[in-house]
Homo-oligomer: A and B are copies of this chain.
Amino acid sequence: MINFESDYTEGCIPEILQALTETNLEQTTGYGLDPHCLNAAKMIRKACNKRNADVHFLVGGTQTNLTVISSILRPYQGVICADSGHINTHETGSIEATGHKCLALPSKDGKITAAQIEDAVQLQKNDETAEHTVQIGMVYISWPTESGTLYSKKELTAISEVCRRYHLPLFLDGARLGYGLASKKCDLTMAEIADLTDVFYIGGTKVGALFGEAVVITNKNLKEGFRCQMKQRGAMLAKGRMLGIQFEELFKEDRYFRISKNAAECAEMLTAALKKKGYKFMYTPQTNQLFPIMTNEKIAELRKEFAFHTFGAVDKERSIVRFVTSFLTKKENVEKLISAL
């Protein structure tokens, strides 16, 4: 069985296992204050061209989202997101569990627009009953989105401008950041993303690491107390250096970007083949997640050899399929899938 279910079906890049083995008997202090974490943070600040950014290492995506968002909002504020945003759909209400509403805006492709945000703010400003509604407190976007799409530089710049105009911190969920940056459709750099947001994270779990996400806080108003917030949410790893060591390896010699290329290339191969064979897509293919529409018959047939998820029915005969490639996907497996299509 060849697995295209997700980009976390395998382990990590071999360099990480090697580094963990080499450093195994080192004695260091805990909780992310060790030399590896300090060094990895430095490497990330450099990669983002943000020498004053605070960098923190957390374990997983849901944990990161809830820790960051609850750190920013006042009790009566909520977070704008796409209705398809991960925090609104697939984190079992983790944001609400910290006391805050997800203010979901309709989205067809996983993205929201600067105009939607501005409209929401204006609507609240002009609402006589505004005090009775959850106050807009920040904006959350995923890049790439859960639909595999990307905000362009123009789109992200517009969102950033609206957020700054209304003093709304902009938080970018980069669980798959590497795959966005590696895409041919991408016109943004990590440094530009750091410029345009107030806080974002660089996903490790899905991009090369065993686990781990690096939060980069560029807005100085959001820095205070973040380590206390992490500890309280169970997001401060005792052997914190496990995260430092991994991110050191990921950011050595541009490895984070290079390993992401493999996923991009595999996705491009697969996209080209799917198009050639006449498949339609639910969302325009842009990164390592592809959503072709297939007959249920075809799906059943493919499932004999391949593991993948489906995302609901299009009509009685057809469903949405999701194929995901990763930093470890073998091209020969993509070819096998192509032959089977």
Contact = CB atoms under 8 A, between A and B. Distances in A.
Contact of A132 (B23, B74, B231, B328): B231
A210 B239 contact: yes
How would you classify the secondary structure of chain A's contact residues: helix, strand, loop or mixed? loop
A328 B76 CA distance: 34
A237 interface: yes
Interface string A27-61: 11111000000000000000000000000000111
A232 B62 CA distance: 8
A205 B239 contact: yes
A9 B21 contact: no
Contacts of A63: 234-235
Given A30-B6, A133-B92, A205-B238, A232 B76 contact: yes
Contacts of A99: 93, 96-99
B94 A234 contact: yes
A93 B239 CA distance: 21
A94 B234 CA distance: 7
Interface residues of A, number: 80
A78 interface: yes
A300 interface: no
Count the copies: 4
A37 B72 CA distance: 33
Given A59-B59, A93-B78, A96-B134, A211 B237 contact: yes
Interface string A254-292: 000000000000000000000000000000000000000
A205 B238 CA distance: 8
Interface of A: 1-3, 5-6, 8-12, 14, 17, 20-21, 23-31, 59-67, 70-71, 74-78, 89-94, 96-102, 128-129, 131-135, 205-206, 210-211, 225, 227-229, 231-239, 242, 307, 309, 328
- 5 nearest CB pairs, A to B: A63-B234, A11-B24, A3-B27, A76-B228, A93-B134
